[in-house]
Amino acid sequence: MEATAVSTATESRENYLNINYGWKSWLFTVDHKRIAILYLASITFFFFIGGAYAGAVRLELLTPAGDLVQADTYNRLFTMHGVFMVFLVLIPSIPATLGNFLLPLMIGAKDLAFPRINLLSWYIYMLGAACIVYAALAGGVDTGWTFYPPYSSIYSNSQVLAAGVGIFIAGFSSILTGLNFIVTVHTMRAPGMTWFRMPLFVWATYATSIIQILGTPVIAVTVLALALERLFHIGIFDPKMGGDPVLFQHLFWFYSHPAVYIMILPAMGVISELIANMTRKKIFGYKFVAFSSLAIAIFGFLVWGHHLFTSSQSVYAGIVFSILSYILGVPSAIKTFNWTATLYKGSMSYETPMLYAFGFLGLFVIGGMTGLFLAALGLDIHLHDTYFVVAHFHYIMVGGVLMGYLGGLHYWWPKISGKMYPEFWGRLSALFVFVGFNLTFFPQFLLGYMGMPRRYHAYPDDTLWQVLNVMSTAGASVLGVGYILPMLYFAWSMKYGKTASANPWPASGLEWQAASPPTTFNFDTTPVVTWEAYDFNHVKELKEGNSASPQEQTV
Amino acid sequence: MAESHTIKHHPALKHHFDTMEQQREAGTIGMWVFLLTEIMFFGGLFLAYIIYRAKYPAGFEAASNTLDVYLGGFNTVVLILSSLTMAMSVYCAQTGKQKMLIVYLVLTLILGSVFLGVKAVEYEHKFEHHLFPAVGFYDWTHEPGHDPQLADQARIFLWLYFAMTGLHALHMVVGAGMLLVLIYFAWRGKYSPEYHAPIELGGLYWHFVDIVWIFLFPLLYLLGFHLGGH
Ligand SMILES: [Cu+2]
């Protein structure tokens, strides 16, 4: 009698997913967790569109000649790949999904400070996305995702305007998310949740939000100016009419360099959580990791000129930007060393999230170090606009960000869905992604170093170049499988996965004290925090106090 | 218990906040953060202004002289007055002077509308004289005694003039809409010394838009004034 009561109680326990059904309950939700799911679904959709463009690019490069597509189509393919991936996938990826879902849970709040603005930001995102999809359907854009004038403002016969409007609109979604997060961290923390008790993911998200609110308005006004220039041809970026095209590059990179940190900082936050929790160890140098996020956010605004070493920027400015870029390596290095120190003598377990975290560490170090090559004034003259650059930023933006994103999705999937993903397939996907990624992008370092320029549909008929390009394309297929796998088994687990306990890993952090999946307002009573971040003794006490913990983990 | 519950919870308190204080603080920080993004948004145009001003002083001076400094000055006074009435309405909200609150809000709205009206007249003059940089711009190079470079330079100045004042005017229109909403709720008696956060936030926004104009006026109107005059 009692047993059945208990089991039905766990079966039909009310949570944010089953509280109501139907499309209206999703499209008009103000629950941060449901909005995170809306973002997750839309970002996944655009990710596969962007991936399809990348697939076409890689297919064309299988052979030296342009036999699949010609230059004009190829330009549109790589541009749309970049536009979809940067503005609709990578920028919102972790903040809008994991950040939205976890931020209130991690600080013990019922929701974000402005739930309706949160929903509004998703609609704005979808409106921007609609413009970009229109641009894609109406023929695409051929300027490269950087939209440099005067080509983009005068000569290009492609959908620059529609894509620009889409980026302008989507930017406001990013701004509103950042604004919401900043206010939430300042005002919604539970009693006892001091700044230095916050999980490092919250610190990283907070730092990201600073970049979002300060950087995104600049790209918005820049794209606006570009759109007006294209519409009315006023001459603001046209050298023939006294305008300055390099001004566009300055404004563009003032946002777009920090935008890389909008992508990577949240991933770093995820990795901090994964490493501390999967080693069951207090993170080494908590304050250093926390402040390095802020340092990256602030100093990230001072290095944009390293994209203009070959664009008529003065050599003296170049020297300053080069030095600052090197200095910016320091906070990233601090994080990496602290993560490694945390791994040392930790009681590690090798579930999927940890495998992704290891993958992140390897790829991020390579991506970061090659960034220093490009920040060196002299070497950049050789490497500028070659595949070396392409490989470098993919190591950061795909190897780093997507590894963190996928690792985080696996780690928090029990919390998000209430179900466990299949561990075997999870590990397999991590392996596929890691191997596929390196096979795709490592050859590109070599190609770039040998002088293969980016953005060309054809290359000289050279055996070594073709071998490396074939390797890259083969790797892209493996990578594609690695990305499709999680989508399939996550969907599968929603129905057939093992039911997850509140804290399956077990891990520290308030989000693991809420039910899996949480109720609409996250906590039955507002939690009072009396322990430090990553205090695993406290987790143990919780476990012992809670006899109903169903899943025991070998530690 | 139930009684203390109703006493504690103001009807304007949203479900996810614990106290009115927390809700007010969230609104205030949110508005300040929003204003920061606004500074960065206008900042891009100010940067473009600085760069082209340094590059083309002569063209900027000539183009600045086509602006009506008296209308601009009048508008500056109007906006400063509207900031005063806005500040007064916040004060009235804090002290519970319901009627004066509405009066000051309406005054602010009227002053804002006067500003927009004058701006519209100025824009119309520009169109008439073919000084709108996009469509039908009058090419000065045909006139004798003019530097052919000047037309391009002046066009960039006028582009910045329209972009900056246009964005500013757009913010004024949004502010006027906001005032209408505030007036409606003030008339319904929604605001009290306990709950008047929307008035305060509206005030912050209004003052910000005024301050932007305080920078725009000298940069755009007074630039050529002391050099040549009318
Ligand atoms: Cu950069």
Q: What is the ipTM of this complex?
A: 0.90
pLDDT above 60 (res A5): no
A101 exposure class (CB count in 10 Å sphere: 0-12, 13-18, 19+)? buried
In this predicted structure, what is the pLDDT of residue A524? 86
**Which residues of chain B are modeled with pLDDT < 70?**
1-8, 135-136, 138-146, 224-230
Q: What angle do CA A111, A129, A401 make, to 5 degrees?
A: 65
Is residue A408 domain-resident?
Answer: yes
- CB < 8 Å to B44, chain A: 217-218, 221-222, 225, 251
Is residue A392 domain-resident?
Answer: yes
Rg (CA), chain B: 22
In this predicted structure, what is the pLDDT of residue B142? 61
What DSSP assignment string belongs to A296-341? HHHHGGG-GGGG-TTTT--HHHHHHHHHHHHHHHHHHHHHHHHHHH
What are the pLDDT digits (tens) for A510-539? Answer: 999 999 999 999 998 889 999 889 988 887
**B35 close to A (CB below 8 A):** no
Is residue A12 domain-resident?
Answer: no
pLDDT above 50 (res A233): yes
Mean pLDDT of A49-61: 96
- CB < 8 Å to B45, chain A: 221, 225
What are the pLDDT digits (tens) for B136-175? Answer: 676 665 666 667 778 888 889 999 999 999 999 999 999 9
Contact flag A183-B51 (C-beta cutoff 8 Å): no
What are the pLDDT digits (tens) for A125-161? Answer: 999 999 999 999 999 999 999 999 999 999 999 999 9
- CB < 8 Å to A213, chain B: 33, 36-37, 40
* Residue A6 pLDDT level (bands cut at 50, 70, 90): very low
Mean pLDDT of A87-104: 97
Taken in order B198, B199, B205, B208, the sign of the CA dihedral is: negative
Q: Where residue A503 sits, what CATH number does that domain have?
A: 1.20.210.10
What are the pLDDT digits (tens) for A466-490? Answer: 999 999 999 999 999 999 999 999 9
pLDDT above 90 (res A312): no
Q: Please identify which residue in the block is written with the tokens 């996810």.
A: B16
Is residue A526 domain-resident?
Answer: yes
Cα A200 to averaged position of ligand 1 atoms, centre (Å)? 24
pLDDT above 50 (res A51): yes
Determine the structural domain holding residue A388 and report its residue range.
24-554
The residues with which A386 forms a beta bridge, in sequence order, are A453
Mean pLDDT of A348-373: 94
The number of CA neighbours under 13 Å toward the Cβ of B180 is 7
Cβ neighbors of A18 (< 8 A, separation 6 or more) are A12
In this predicted structure, what is the pLDDT of residue B140? 63
Q: Which amino acid is at A245?
A: P
Cα A49 to averaged position of ligand 1 atoms, centre (Å)? 25
Is the model more confident about A312 or about A436? A436
pLDDT above 70 (res A350): yes
- CB < 8 Å to B62, chain A: none
In this predicted structure, what is the pLDDT of residue A59? 96
In this predicted structure, what is the pLDDT of residue B145? 67
Mean pLDDT of A164-193: 96
Contact flag A228-B134 (C-beta cutoff 8 Å): yes
Is B31-227 in CATH node 1.20.120.80? yes
In this predicted structure, what is the pLDDT of residue B11? 83
The residues with which A419 forms a beta bridge, in sequence order, are A499
Domain ranges of chain B: 31-227
What are the pLDDT digits (tens) for B30-46? Answer: 999 999 999 999 999 99
Is residue A9 domain-resident?
Answer: no
Structural domain count of chain A: 1
Is residue A1 domain-resident?
Answer: no
Q: How far is CA A296 from CA A331, A332, B13, B46, in A?
A: 6, 8, 37, 26
Mean pLDDT of chain A: 92
In a mutational test of the A interface, the residue from B13, B28, B40, B42 whose CB has the highest number of chain A CBs within 10 Å is: B40
Distance between CA B203 and CA B91 in Å, rounded?
10
Give the tokens for residue B154: 């002046």
Alpha helices in A138-244 (DSSP H): 160-187, 200-232
* Residue A217 pLDDT level (bands cut at 50, 70, 90): very high
pLDDT above 90 (res A553): no
User: Smallest Cα–Cα separation from A334: which of A342, A322, A324, A323?
Assistant: A342
Is the model more confident about A293 or about B153? A293
Percentage of residues in chain A having pLDDT higher than 90: 85
pLDDT above 50 (res A280): yes
pLDDT above 50 (res A347): yes
Is residue A2 domain-resident?
Answer: no
pLDDT above 70 (res A388): yes
Cα A119 to averaged position of ligand 1 atoms, centre (Å)? 31
* Residue A20 pLDDT level (bands cut at 50, 70, 90): confident
